[in-house]
Amino acid sequence: MAQSIADIKRILYNSLADRSLGRVMAQLTLLADASHHEQLLEMQQSYKTLLQYYFDGVDDPERENIFRHLLRQCYEMTDDLCAAKTTRLSSEHPIWAALWLPLRYTEEETQAFARYLKGGSVEACMAVSATTLNHIELFDEPKMECLFEAAVDPRPEVSGRAWVGLMLTLAVHSRRLEFHPNLTNRLTLLLDQPDRVQQCQTILKQLILSKETESIARDIQDNILPVISKLAPQIKKHTGRNNLDDEQNDLQDLLDQNGIGDKMQEYTERQMEGMDINYSTFSQLKHFSFFHKMENWLVPFDTNHPEIAVLFGLESKQLGNVVKMLLDNDVMCDSDKYSFYLNIAQIPIQLRKQLAAQLQAETEQIKDMQTTTSRDALTNRYIQDLYRFCHLYPGHDKITNVFQLRFDFHKSPLFRLLNPGGEFLLPWADYLLKHGFTEYAVSAYTKLEELGPPDAGICRKVGYCCQRNGLYTQAVDYYRKAELIEPDDAWTQFRLAACLLKEGRSEEALALYDTLDAAHPNHWRYLLPKAVCEVKLGHFETARELFYKLEYLFPDKVETSDDYHLYLGHCCWMLQDRKAAVGHYAQACKREDLEEELRMSGLPFSEMDLVVIIDYLRYNNPAKGGPSPS
């Protein structure tokens, strides 16, 4: 039922975004209960009157205001009706019961929020989180006013949560501000300080980075952990030695030899940029009963929490102090810290003491890892807590997962407040491009293109984004624009040629590769696609000569290049050297993929050709000079 209501809500929101009032009211008629029936009839009558006046030519200066008021009423009725038909997650925690459960805030809720905000840091943070999640589910002016109050709190852990909440809320309800001018004015005043604008810009970047969490987790699970698992016996040999420096050097050499060292260095750098590399590990440690309560996912880490306080008792003081030092830094979010401690609590006390002794031996090195908690680190860790809650909490399917939104913030009214002088749009677009969000970046760069004079750099970046998204025709257009502004740029010509080749315009691509090859003779990146163009144009002798030249100049590269072997195989086949052809096909791709490659080549392979090539490779392995075991 919850999913169907979510679908209905999305349909209604889409209709409201199109300002299709008549369609929205018709949809609401199907959803409305008896308590909303009379209000809906009044709204429909008001809209009919507005339409009648419009077509009668009546000059009505209030027409736009009435229309906007009706839109606001439709939004609010949509929220109320959908919320009433959705099962609300329960919580017995007093703060969450007071601020999460109510659908709309009355004076009672706003006063409760003010009380909690004046309390301790943990109470204030919990109040902000409960209000944020409530506001995401149902837009309500008093809730935003509460977040505004928290945003100016002097405690950075409280104000940071509030600004994250405001950014997320406005991402979900980006179109609602236009119906609440007093909220817009308040937000504008709050963002009158450059420091707050900068903080919000950073939060937008952190939210964008959260979209890489799943791909990072998959990479760690699929490409790093299996290798480390295989190396486990060798790693064990290098641990437990007296000389810690020798132990670490040997381990580092072992990881480097197996390609893991560079990968781990890459992830260390990505973590410093704010990416979440701990999700893969700690997502496996959320099975404790502690995480069955929704409020515990977002409670600030507190060693006095009753479920972990035992670890700081007298019998485990040594362990508590060492582990506390490990966790008093910016690396782990609060949810993961609780996971860590709860996991430690499962260890028998004797083993805990042994662990404490081992950790104590490395205390000096651990101290070197300490960092000061910065404002940006606080918001980044809170976003990671929210990400885990939205994906791993047992009841996460009953809440809005804000991290599934597009986060193309530059299209929202909020962005105008964070880009007051127009100086943030380019860094934002570049940031999106740097982190691979080319689909978002292209619209940001296009917006820049509309705002300023023709710029070759912008055109190149839009072209590159289009190319990465497989939009080769649009990419060609933008690269051509860049060429007109700044002719003879090698990077532009190379990218343009690649897109032309993808578009099947091989003759145009070849002309560009000839130009690049003349300016930079004997360069792999120009000679190989030039040879491919010759194949596509049917110039097989010329192409084969280029391939042999590549083999002479770059023996190491040709050995591992799939394109080299595939297209040289085409040359050999078309020049009747069939054994050489299948030898290159065997090195180019897997046998199960080869038939599709041959069909897509554009060359005149008959059905019999395809059968004999595949079957020959099935029984022979010409690339290695002998029969295949399969």
Based on the domain organization, do 293 and 393 belong to the same domain? yes
Based on the domain organization, do 383 and 300 belong to the same domain? yes
DSSP 604-623: ---HHHHHHHHHHHHHEETT
> What per-residue confidence (pLDDT) applies to 488?
92
| Residue 539, in any domain of the structure | yes
Which 3 state secondary structure label does DSSP give 627? strand
Interval 512-523: pLDDT, tens: 999 999 999 999
Reported as a pLDDT band with limits 50, 70 and 90, residue 255 is low
- How many other C-beta atoms are found inside a 10 Å radius of the C-beta of residue 462? 28
> What per-residue confidence (pLDDT) applies to 43?
96
Does residue 103 have a pLDDT over 80? yes
> What per-residue confidence (pLDDT) applies to 312?
59
| Pick from 204-213, 255-264, 472-481: least confident | 255-264
Q: Which of 321, 45, 3, 463 is nearest to 53 (CA)?
A: 45
| Residue 415, in any domain of the structure | no
CA–CA separation, 613 vs 608, rounded Å? 9
**What does the pLDDT average to over 234-257?**
50
| Residue 184, in any domain of the structure | yes
Q: Of 18, 49, 84, which residue constitutes the final position of a domain? A: 84
Domain count of the chain?
Answer: 4
Based on the domain organization, do 511 and 527 belong to the same domain? no
Give the DSSP letter of residue 445. Answer: H
CA–CA separation, 273 vs 266, rounded Å? 11
**What does the pLDDT average to over 559-587?**
92
Q: What's the one-letter identity of residue 563?
A: D
Q: What is the pTM of this model?
A: 0.85
| Pick from 430-439, 490-499, 614-623: least confident | 614-623
Based on the domain organization, do 526 and 512 belong to the same domain? no
Does residue 468 have a pLDDT over 80? yes
Interval 114-162: pLDDT, tens: 999 999 999 999 999 999 999 999 999 999 999 999 999 999 999 999 9
Does residue 372 have a pLDDT over 50? no
Buried b (16+ CB within 10 A) or exposed e, 86-110: beebebebebbebbbebebbeeebb
Reported as a pLDDT band with limits 50, 70 and 90, residue 281 is confident
Does residue 374 have a pLDDT over 70? yes
Based on the domain organization, do 98 and 20 belong to the same domain? no
Tokens of 319: 């362990």
Reported as a pLDDT band with limits 50, 70 and 90, residue 3 is low
| Residue 258, in any domain of the structure | no
Place of tokens 């820049």: 448
Based on the domain organization, do 131 and 210 belong to the same domain? yes
**What does the pLDDT average to over 92-105?**
95
> What per-residue confidence (pLDDT) applies to 234?
53
Q: What's the Cα-to-Cα distance from 340 to each of 221, 280, 285, 370, rounded to whole Å? A: 19, 14, 8, 18
Task: Return the axis-axis angle of helices 121-137 and 107-118, rounded to nearest 10°.
Answer: 150
> What per-residue confidence (pLDDT) applies to 357?
63
Does residue 235 have a pLDDT over 70? no
Tokens of 354: 């042994």
DSSP 340-358: HHHHHHTS-HHHHHHHHHH
Based on the domain organization, do 79 and 97 belong to the same domain? no
- How many other C-beta atoms are found inside a 10 Å radius of the C-beta of residue 199? 22
CB contact set of 416 (below 8 Å; sequence gap of 6+)? none
**What is the residue range of 540's domain?**
522-630
Reported as a pLDDT band with limits 50, 70 and 90, residue 6 is confident
Reported as a pLDDT band with limits 50, 70 and 90, residue 452 is confident
**What does the pLDDT average to over 414-424?**
90
User: CATH no. for residue 452?
Assistant: 1.25.40.10
| Residue 272, in any domain of the structure | no
Give the DSSP letter of residue 1. Answer: -
Place of tokens 């913030």: 409
| Residue 274, in any domain of the structure | no
Q: Of 516, 547, 582, which residue constitutes the final position of a domain? A: 516
Phi, psi (deg, nearest 5) at residue 62? -95, 5
Does residue 244 have a pLDDT over 50? no
| Residue 275, in any domain of the structure | no
DSSP 256-305: HHTTHHHHHHHHHHHHHTT---SHHHHGGG--SGGGGSGGGGSSPP-TT-
> What per-residue confidence (pLDDT) applies to 309?
76
Based on the domain organization, do 399 and 290 belong to the same domain? yes
Region label for 455, one of left (φ > 0), alpha (ψ between -120 and 50) or beta (otherwise): beta
Based on the domain organization, do 431 and 485 belong to the same domain? yes
Average confidence score pLDDT of the chain: 86
Based on the domain organization, do 98 and 208 belong to the same domain? yes
Place of tokens 């003349």: 518
Q: Of 66, 84, 102, which residue constitutes the final position of a domain? A: 84
> What per-residue confidence (pLDDT) applies to 256?
53
- How many other C-beta atoms are found inside a 10 Å radius of the C-beta of residue 284? 10
User: CATH no. for residue 527?
Assistant: 1.25.40
Q: Which of 612, 513, 524, 529 is nearest to 567 (CA)?
A: 529
| Residue 341, in any domain of the structure | yes
Phi, psi (deg, nearest 5) at residue 449? -60, -35
Give the DSSP letter of residue 88. Answer: P
% of the chain exceeding 90 in pLDDT: 63
Based on the domain organization, do 299 and 184 belong to the same domain? yes
Based on the domain organization, do 367 and 431 belong to the same domain? no
